[in-house]
Structure 1
Amino acid sequence: MVLLGREITVLGAGIGGLTAALCFAARGAQVRVLEQSDAIREVGAGLQISPNGARVLAALGLSDALISRAVRSEAVVLRDYSDGEEVLRMPLGADPGFHLIHRADLIDMLAAAARTAGVAVELGRKVDQVVFSDSEAVSLRFADGTCEPVSMLVGADGLHSPVRRALDKPAQPFFTGQVAWRMVLPQTQFPEPCAQVFMGPGRHLVTYPLRGGTERNIVAVEERDRWTAEGWSHRDDPMRVARAFAGFPPRVRGWLESARDVHVWGLFRHEVAPVWHRGASVILGDAAHPTLPFLAQGANLAIEDAWVLASCMSDSADDAEAFARYQVMRQARTARAVAAANANAKAYHLPEGPVRTMAHIALRMLNRTSPTMPLRKFDWLYNTDVTAS
């Protein structure tokens, strides 16, 4: 095996970084993960693992762990904001299926598997800068002032990746005119195992169950002119989101009015990175292709990246060749997914008027005749199995 005994440093103990560490370790590499936090924790909310991501987790031996922690989704249900009535119900396949899971549970699952596989996780290692020498050797400059060379670096360090900054010219993201609130609410009854989207003029709300139905995940998106900073950690007044969705059905208003811990973030559009590798360094996940949350593919694309990168490196003793092949295999697909997510936002936010009316009539007709048709346009996304290539 080409990776047998190779020393690989992964920057970031998120979903992409831990999956990459598992993929490398499974191929015989000696892997360490550097995480800037003092603990592996994820304070986010829910996410959806679609079949393309689930196939990678299955290939890593994690199917049972995923099923035990997730709710398997049976459908995606589109609802009108005014009365909550069903507009379209799109049934989902059962194998490998769509899984609704708390981000923290997925991180815990991946971290446990990584440690079992012999991956070393070093906490409190904040990298400020990635430095290349004239010979393309790479070093990490840490926040404490120390500097350390690494033989191979994988940047899975997210939206503000110092690895990407070292590879590409700074890009200027732009505010989409949308903000998103996220929250997780406790529940006493198991709700319908599906993702529901309440669509309204200039706003929509997505909700689905987590943790055996004991919790409800909510992401609420509103169009606005005011700029809101990026990031997941901005707390907000729960009443602000409740007011923004005051015209939605009573059950939705009830959920929002019961919320106590709400976070808000501005949605920014970023370009897919033009350069993914240099010397002994390479990027994946949000560091390479940040995506808006309207197709639920951020985690899935990172999981795919991890498998493909490890496979390319296993197939070639030449890192430059392996990295170049990885970028070719991933760049067009991830760009297509990013574009599809961008388009979904507009479809959810149709204003009152004839266009919205006709669109909903068409969806209701599909609901009676061919409810799976809208999802089929994403067969290119969900039906892909990167582990088979």
Structure 2
Amino acid sequence: MASTLRVAIIGGGIGGLTLALALRERGLTADVYEQTPQLTEIGAAVALTANATRELERIGLGDRLAAASTTPEELIHRHWRDGARIAAHPVHSGSWYRNRFQAPVHGIRRAQLQVILSSALAAGTLHLGYRLVGLTERPDGLVLGFSAGDTAHADVVVGADGIRSTVRRWVAGDDHEIYSGTSGFRGIVPVDRLPGLPDPQSIQFWTGPGAHLLHYPIGPTGDSVNFLAVVEGPRTWARTDGWVDDVAADEPLRAFHGWHPAATAMIGAVTHAVRWGLFAVRPLPRWHRGRAVLLGDAAHAMLPHQGQGANTTVEDAFTLAALLAQVPDTIELPSAFATYQALRRGRTRRIQRLSWLTNALLHLPDGAAADERNRALARLPQEIAWIHEHDVQATLRRRTERLARSGPAPTT
């Protein structure tokens, strides 16, 4: 029996929009409620990897994504001071990445990705300027209360509303965000303003004592570079109302004093007014309560050092959509949510932990520990292949086959 659930998605970012499309593919219509009056994404750009692009290609967005994106030539790690290559691995070169993982990697502006996703939605399903302030449970569903006084009614509410999720507070309570003790400076710089940058068409990590610089090409021609410069500190995050704080314009360059000129030229090409606190969400005991369920950063926000925040969110969306499409009525929702949590929580926790540990490894001073890390970087494609080769549909098929052989498996 086809599902007739009324689904409300809170949050019009990558996760919310992708879930709406994934549900539409399965025959379900969802309403997306976004608090801002126009779609805006946190951060400047995103690298979509195979574990996400294989799903987005499958629903017909591959050509549009490719036209708006750049595929990096290589993945390179460099020494902070002299710029020497520590390790390098092909990506686009020789079609290595696509051949290995059967899907591409794309560097794309978040705003452009949002346009691609939102333009594929069913007409009238995206509602802007709706800030959720409360949920009320009734026997026939959940009532959503918005800041302007509007209400809506749904059988299912999905919290895709980010690290400071209102839905998560309803599902799991408060105080799940954790500050990493690190912060970052972001920017996009035209390549022609960086004449001393080696290999501008590659994704690169410059790693050094107490800091690192990540950058990769974006856009249809790779004519710009998106960067994130990460530093230790401040020790505590003073702002309790957000993850962005004011910064002195010269502080980013001071943090990278003595680094290679290509690195400092990139950071110095942008006027920095803010720094971004890097937060994660502590592992949650549960991702769902009643008819509400969490997705993406609301459930498992992670540090950006594996580039998997957006990609695991896309995985969540297609997994949840497939399970909801199999629910004939609301009585089956608890089972579907428990299965979703069982399929997703272990994997995302593992990536969360790896991303947290990676920060310290990238910030080692020169010495024996850094030498050991550098030897490990030579094996990086093998070490992280499990992240990129993940296939949502294959995982769902294996679950179906297991159930057919032995009946329902434990979901907790």
TM-score exceeds 0.5: yes
Deviation string 1:4-59 (CA, Å, 9 cap, x unpaired) is x4321111100000000001111222221111110112252121111101111112
1:57-89 deviations in Å (ceiling 9; x for gaps): 112111111111110123210000011111100
Structure 1 position 217 matched with structure 2 position 231: no
Match of 2:261 in 1: 250
Aligned to 1:291: 302
Question: In 2, are the aligned partners of 1:131 and 1:138 still within 8 Å (CA)?
Answer: yes
Change in CA separation of 1:378 and 1:56 when aligned onto 2, cut-off 3 Å: same
Moved over 6 A (4+): none
Report the CA distance between 1:172 and its aligned residue: 4.3
**SS at the partner of 2:64?**
helix
Aligned residue pairs: how many?
377
Which letter maps to 1:387? Q
Q: Tell me the amino acid that sits aligned with residue 220 of structure 1.
A: A
1:205 aligns with 2:234: no
CA shift in 2, pair 1:85/1:52, >3 Å: same
Q: Is 1:382–2:380 an aligned residue pair?
A: no
Partner SS, residue 78 of structure 2 = strand
How has the CA–CA distance of structure 1 residues 277 and 254 changed in structure 2, closer, same or farther, with 3 Å as cutoff? same
Between the aligned partners of 2:140 and 2:299, the Cα distance in structure 1 is 20
The answer to whether the 8 Å contact 1:268/1:292 transfers is: yes
Over 3 Å counting, the alpha-carbon distance change for 1:320 and 1:2 in structure 2 is farther
User: For 2:336, which of 295, 318, 322 is the aligned residue?
Assistant: 322
Summarize the alignment of residues 270-309 of structure 1 with structure 2, pairs less than 5 Å apart: 270-309=281-320
SS of residue paired to 1:42: coil
Give deviations 1:169-198, integer Å, cap 9, x for gaps.
Answer: 223433222111111123338963221100
Q: Give the root-mean-square deviation of aligned CA atoms.
A: 2.1
Corresponding residue SS for 2:300: coil
Cα distance change, pair 234–273 in 1 and its aligned pair in 2 (3 A): same
Letter of the 1:332 partner, please give it.
G
CA–CA distance in 1 between the matches of 2:385 and 2:42?
31
**Contact 1:44–1:103 (Cα < 8 Å) also in 2:** yes
Cα–Cα, structure 1 residues 160 and 294, in superposed 2: closer, same or farther, change >3 Å? same
- The corresponding residue for 2:408 is none
Structure 2 counterpart of 1:174, from 174, 178, 203: 178
Residue identity matched to 1:256: I
Contact 1:202 1:222 in 2 (8 A): yes
Q: Which region of structure 1 is more displaced relative to structure 2, 349-358 or 197-206?
A: 349-358
Q: How does 1:1-389 map to 2 (within 5 A)?
A: 2-3=2-3, 5-42=4-41, 44-92=43-91, 93-94=97-98, 95-114=102-121, 117-118=122-123, 120-133=125-138, 135=139, 137-188=141-192, 192-211=200-219, 212-228=221-237, 229=239, 231=242, 233-261=244-272, 263-317=274-328, 318-360=332-374, 362=375, 371=378, 373-388=379-394, 389=396
Shifted more, 205-214 versus 13-22: the winner is 205-214
Distance 1:18 1:51, change over 3 A: same
Calculate the TM-score normalised by the size of structure 1.
0.91
Helix, strand or coil: the match of 1:89? strand
Unmatched segments (≥5 aa) in structure 1? none
* Gap change, CA 1:237 and 1:185, over 3 Å in 2: farther
Provide the rounded CA distance (Å) in 2 between the counterparts of 1:146 and 1:47: 33
Q: State the TM-score, normalized to the length of structure 2.
A: 0.86
**Structure 1 180/350 Cα, relative in aligned 2: closer, same or farther at 3 Å?**
same
Mapped partners of 1:218, 1:207: distance in 2: 4
Task: Return the letter of the residue paired with 1:206.
Answer: L
* % identical aligned pairs: 32
Q: Which position in structure 1 is the counterpart of 2:404?
A: none
Deviation track 1:136-161 (CA, whole Å, cap 9, x = no partner) reads 83111211234433222111111111
Cα displacement (A) at 1:293? 0.6
Seen in structure 2, the aligned counterparts of structure 1 residues 142 and 311 have a Cα distance that, compared at 3 Å, is same
C-alpha distance in 2, partners of 1:246/1:334? 35
CA distance in 1, matches of 2:14, 2:176: 25
Distance 1:6 1:169, change over 3 A: closer
Aligned partners of 2:279 and 2:301 also within 8 Å: no
